[in-house]
Copies of this chain bind each other. A is one copy, B any other.
Amino acid sequence: MSNEDHVGRRGLMLALSSPSGAGKTTLSRMLLESDGMITMSVSATTRRPRPGEIEGRDYYFVSTEDFGLMRNRGEFLESAKVFDNYYGTPKAPVEQALAQGRDVLFDIDWQGTQQIDEVAHEDLVKVFVLPPSAQDLERRLKTRAQDSADVVASRMAKASDEISHYQEYDYIIINDDIDQAFIELRSILQAERLRRRRLIGLSNFVKQLRETL
């Protein structure tokens, strides 16, 4: 019997942030499709379900009153108000995943990342995705926004704000090529899974090794 069976690990939270259009959503999808040990974080929200959205998969749909109660009880890892709706990440399902050695992916902005960092620094891995050049970012923002000039301007202001927080992240991926960026993201996840402090049962395992010698 191998003793390795007795070494497990605590899951981690992978926060992926980037300005709009830098490829964060594509990278998230690629990671979720290729890796069975990581799942997307599910937020609670006070906004109404859209057609096709499924409770517990896309969101936990809650009333404004319940959201307020949950927040007051400290049941969110992070929360924010966007326009007239509240969004928040319930702690319980994330903690359950981590305790079972599964990882949780957060497609999240710098403010959400900061909030999680304050309460769960040791479990959090922070990755920031940058576009390869200013020209590229401009092109992507303009191509994507089939919207009014106001929406484009607002999106660009938000992108600039987001980028200004890159220094709060552990790792930087410059997304010049989506396949290369994905390899890099996967390396970060694989490496962080090997961090000594996430391993469970290691001291007993080492004790057994030393008793043999």
Among B2, B170, B171, B206, contact of A132 (Cβ-Cβ < 8 Å): B2
Nearest residue in B to A160 (C-beta to C-beta)? Answer: B213
A134 at the interface (CB under 8 A from B): yes
Interface size on A, residues (CB 8 A): 52
Which residues of chain A in 52-95 are interfacial with respect to chain B, using CB atoms and an 8 Å cutoff?
A: none
List B contacts of A190 (CB < 8 A).
183-184, 187, 191
A4 located at the interface, meaning its Cβ lies under 8 Å from any Cβ of chain B in the complex:
yes
Q: In the complex the two chains form, what is the Cα distance from A133 to B169 in whole Å? A: 37
- CB proximity to B under 8 Å, residues A162-180: 163-164, 166-167, 169-174, 176
Q: Say whether A7 faces chain B, with CB atoms less than 8 Å apart.
A: yes
Q: Which residues of chain B are near A19, meaning CB under 8 Å?
A: 209
CA of A210 to CA of B158 in the docked complex: distance in angstroms?
Answer: 11
B213 touches A199 (CB 8 A): no
**B209–A195 touching, CB < 8 Å:** no
Q: Contacts A171-B196, A195-B171, A196-B166 given: A4-B213 contact, CB under 8 Å?
A: no
